[in-house]
Copies of this chain bind each other. A is one copy, B any other.
Amino acid sequence: MDPRPVALDAFGGDNAPDAILAGAELAFRQGVPVLLVGDANRLRGKVPRGLTVVHAPEVVEMDEPASTPLRKKPGASIRRIFELVQEGQAIGAVTCGHSGAAMASALHVLGAIPGIERPPLATVVPRKDGGQLVLVDLGANVDCKPQHLAQFAVLGDAYARVVLGMTNPRVGLLANGEERGKGNTQVRAAWPELEALPLNFVGNVEPLGALRGECDVLVCDGFVGNVMLKTVEGTVEVVGRVLRDEIRRRPGAQLGAWLLQGAIRRFRQRTAYDAVGGALLLGVEGVAVVGHGRADARAVASALRYARSCAEAGLLPTLRHSVAQRLARDTMGSVR
């Protein structure tokens, strides 16, 4: 097992640095070495026993542009974590800060895997059949071209195989109808690109079908993927609220509320951000996890474990290999 730590941005997230430090301590106790990255002066006296700090004097605030760590604040913790990966000092990086700044920094510092033009964000969503749906892209790229969607497909497939252990993931193209020819201009243009790849492409898949288990990897433009992910989150909130209200009106209300609370907590633990602690920026030359801004200690610890398990599973070499093989083969016209 690689003894190197995961680099953690101590000053990213709504509850930074306290929730971040608590999450680092939790992960550390679970056996994950963590390197805290942030302003050493502000961290003095707060660092959990056993953890070390890499000094990064600047912090990117949520209202600053995504390019801030590239231009105005090159010493920002959200950038430094990726430099530690690039330098080989860390096996992966986690931030719960400004997601635009995180993506810009990761791409700038680590670079993209050759063949990948626009690295996408990926995460998993629980399905009705008990399986997991890999959603890619979640919002890193909008107005994608067909070849971008094809690149997302290759990355998502490799991720599903190496991290989730799937053998022949079914790759679907998110659309508003299953038949070929359904979809918007973008989807119709992407279909032949995806069909030409040496992947288990199952064609257009609607959100309802995908959530029921009709595919394992769902490829989409980042705008649409973001709408889908946020709609899942929002619907869980609405359902939870309505169910609470309904149960309160019935006999056995207290027991019902208790049952529901436990069940909803378990559901949340299975969903993307809580289960894996964040979204993975696929297609950069390193393991880069972008956690939820609202992350609490438990979610931070999940993100750290997740980054470590991606690195340990050999995510990066698998992605490189897949992209080189599958996208190159596609370019050369020798398909399937």
Task: Give A residues with C-beta under 8 Å from B.
Answer: 126-128, 139, 142-143, 174-176, 183-185, 187, 206-208, 210-212, 221-224, 226-228, 230-243, 246-247, 250, 252, 255-256, 259-260, 262-264, 266-267, 270
Contact = CB atoms under 8 A, between A and B. Distances in A.
Given A206-B230, A231-B228, A255-B255, A139 B176 contact: yes
Nearest to A244: B263
Nearest to A256: B259
- Copy number in the complex reads 2
Contact of A267 (B127, B227, B243, B262): B243
B234 A210 contact: yes
Q: Which of A183, A234, A255, A263 has the most chain B CB within a 10 Å cutoff? A: A234
Given A176-B222, A211-B238, A227-B231, 11 more contacts: A176-B227, A208-B237, A211-B235, A235-B236, A236-B239, A239-B239, A243-B260, A246-B262, A247-B263, A250-B262, A255-B259
A14 to B, nearest CB: 15
Contact of A127 (B128, B207, B238): B238
Contacts of A246: 262-263, 266-267
A176 B142 CA distance: 9
A184 B240 CA distance: 31
Contact of A212 (B210, B228, B234, B242): B234
A227 to B, nearest CB: 5
A61 B264 CA distance: 41
A137 to B, nearest CB: 11
A319 to B, nearest CB: 25
Given A246-B263, A252-B259, A255-B255, A223 B142 contact: no
Contact of A208 (B127, B224, B230, B267): B230
Contacts of A270: 242
A234 B262 CA distance: 22
A263 B243 contact: yes
A230 B239 CA distance: 15
A214 B227 CA distance: 15
Contacts of A126: 238, 242
Nearest to A222: B176
A41 B327 CA distance: 58
Given A247-B259, A259-B259, A184 B227 contact: no
B259 A234 contact: no
